[in-house]
Structure 1
Amino acid sequence: MSRRIDHLVIAVHDLDKAAAFYQRLGFQVGARNKHSWGTENRLVQFPGTFLELITVGEGANIPPHGQGTFSFGAFVRDYLQEREGLAMLVLDSQDAKADAASFAQQKIGAFQPFFFERTGKKPDGSETKVAFTLAFAALENASKAGFFVCQQHFPENFWNPAFQKHDNQATAVSSIALTAPDPDRLRRFVSAFTGEEPSRPAGHDLSYRLTDAHLDVMTPDDAGELYVSVEAELDQPSFVGFALRVEDIHRQAARLDAAEIPYQHVGSRLVVPASAAHGVAIAFEPTQN
């Protein structure tokens, strides 16, 4: 069965400034959360999927990568030393320990599962407990593209319809763009990570179905055609853009105009370029797409 997107990790230098930008885009952005190792985030939630705006907090004591361990905090810190943007793709997991074993068997990540918990906040401001186990995979020579799966242990405390109502009427993430100099060289890794075989929508590009969304692996030039302005790494894989479904594309265009956020029409999409959106291009498309 196809995995769904659990969330996208979007690394930013100034968490509140990024949150304010996403609010101008029409999203409801959650309160600041802190991880024990020093990263801090604010979330944008949809049914079953969310965007994680993340930064490294002051005085953070980030643990290093180790033999058989993957440090989420170190990956985010190192990413932010060079750029902002979409740093990691996270898929859902029903059993992260089993997934970690599978990744090791397929030789895409020999890392121990990572469990953590934190206090979250409900819409009324009261506290609740959330906990997760992560299983990491690692693509060789890809310091700008992270991959892991996430098992939620108290999903009833995390997912909340009150957090999923946005002024822009966004309902879901529909696609993610991953660029690479040679997309075919990523085929074995991405197939093993997603559990899916790709289709070929055009030329050397690959597309992987993720339940009701898809991951597109393409050249930087092809990504530029779809997302106007991307900040791609020319020598290694990097995530450069994502698309969201909105109920009323014309209303969203009016919102972007009113907020003086630059965008271009690309087919039926409205695309906010990476240069205006903290390093990652953001496309809005009609729900019926």
Structure 2
Amino acid sequence: MARPLDHLVLPTADLEIARERLGRLGFTVAPRGVHPFGTENCCVYFEGGTFIEPLAVADEAAAAAAAKTGNVFVARDRFYRESFGPEGFSAVVFGSEDADDDHRRYVESGISAGDRLDFSRPFVDASGKSDIASFRLAFAAEPGMRGTFVFACQRVNAPRVDRAALQAHANGATGIAEIVAVSGDPAGMADFLRVAADADGSAANGSGILELPNARIATLTPDRYSQRFGLPCDPHGSLAFAAVVFSVRDITFLRTHLASGNIDHDMRGNRIVAAAAPGQGAAFIFEEHS
């Protein structure tokens, strides 16, 4: 079975701008989390364990030192920011039970992006209760992926805290339904993602769609992306992550909420489209799912 979606990494210049933007979109944003290598985040969690991770640089010197010593997570983040600016959507992350095995597969498949990484950081829930979260990461990328990458994330120590309050969102969002990528070679990049997610051939149907156990990844041409969402697309490298599709309980309620938060958005068929903005590095698409 393919690896499940774990989370998405969205670089941002400033966590406070990200927190304000995500709050106006109706998301509950977790307290600030600090990494031991110069970056920091403020995550948005969903039912089922997936989340989005707005990521900022908190300590430039520490981040530079980490990248220089082979920290792939920081190095790819820096490469992305240097290439495309501080706002965007840099990585899709798969859940893993054995990141060592994923690293071995990536090396054998010729898609490893560098050395595996172990780290720990404090985690604080909405009530202020804290624990230590520990992770083991394995990284993958194709040579033409400029800053964009994927990685497998093994939660070596999952925090013993209650995330229920963090998973309740005023906009009615319940989870991530789909990730939308853009490429001039959708089938080829979907095959890369299939290998990275350890999915068999049945998970990819040859049209650029990869089915994960808890979400899907659609890789579209720039023209097809613009047709589907009504948004311009400026693709970079061989694969660019462009949009996140969220499931919501009530699309009419969501539209009212976005209007009250002064969020520009468009109705496109049965979905709401909010273009990328500072603090929101990707286009956010909302679809009603019961």
> Do these two structures clear the TM 0.5 threshold for a shared fold by scoring above it?
yes
State the distance in 1 between where 2:159 and 2:33 align.
Answer: 18
Letter in 1 for 2:249: E
Alignment of 1:212 with 2:218, yes or no, is: no
Aligned to 1:246: 248
User: Letter of the aligned partner of 1:25 in structure 2?
Assistant: L
Equivalent residue letter for 1:55: A
Distance 1:109 1:17 in 2: 33
Partners of 2:208 and 2:220 within 8 A in 1: yes
Contact 1:177 1:242 in 2 (8 A): yes
| One-letter amino acid of the structure 1 residue matched with residue 221 of structure 2 | T
Cα shift at 1:114: 0.8
1:229-244 correspondence runs (5 A): 229-244=231-246
1:172-191 Cα distance to aligned partner (Å, 9 max, x none): 10000111112233243222
Superposition RMSD on alpha carbons, in Å? 1.9
Instruction: Report the counterpart of residue 45 of structure 1 in structure 2.
Output: 45
Number of residues of Structure 1 aligned to a counterpart in Structure 2: 282
How far has the Cα of 1:104 moved from its partner?
1.1
Q: Which runs of no fewer than 5 residues in structure 1 stay unpaired?
A: none
Is residue 2:277 matched to residue 1:271? no
Residue matched to 1:222: 224
Task: Write out per-residue CA displacement over residues 201-223 of structure 1, whole angstroms, 9 at most, x where no aligned residue.
Answer: xxxx4100011310001111111
Counterpart in 2 of 1:77?
78
Offset at residue 168 of structure 1 (A)? 1.0
For the 8 Å contact 2:4–2:214, the answer to whether it is kept is yes
- Displacement of 1:275: 4.8
User: Given that residues 148 and 240 in structure 2 are in contact (C-alpha distance below 8 angstroms), is that contact kept between their aligned partners in structure 1?
Assistant: yes
Which residue identity does 1:147 align to in structure 2? Answer: V
- Residue ranges of structure 2 left out of the alignment (5+ in a row): none
Deviations 1:99-158 (A, max 9, x none): 111111122116332110011112221321110000111111111421001011222536
- One-letter amino acid matched to 2:50: T
Work out which structure has the larger RCO, using CA pairs closer than 8 Å and 6 or more positions apart in sequence: 2
CA distance in 2 between counterparts of 1:277 and 1:180 reads 24
Structure 1 residues 283 and 276: alpha-carbon distance in aligned structure 2, compared to 1, 3 A threshold: farther
Residue identity in the other structure for 2:231: S
Q: CA deviation at 1:19?
A: 1.1
TM-score (norm 2): 0.91
TM-score by length of 1: 0.91
| Match in the other structure for 1:32 | 32
SS of 2:43's partner is strand
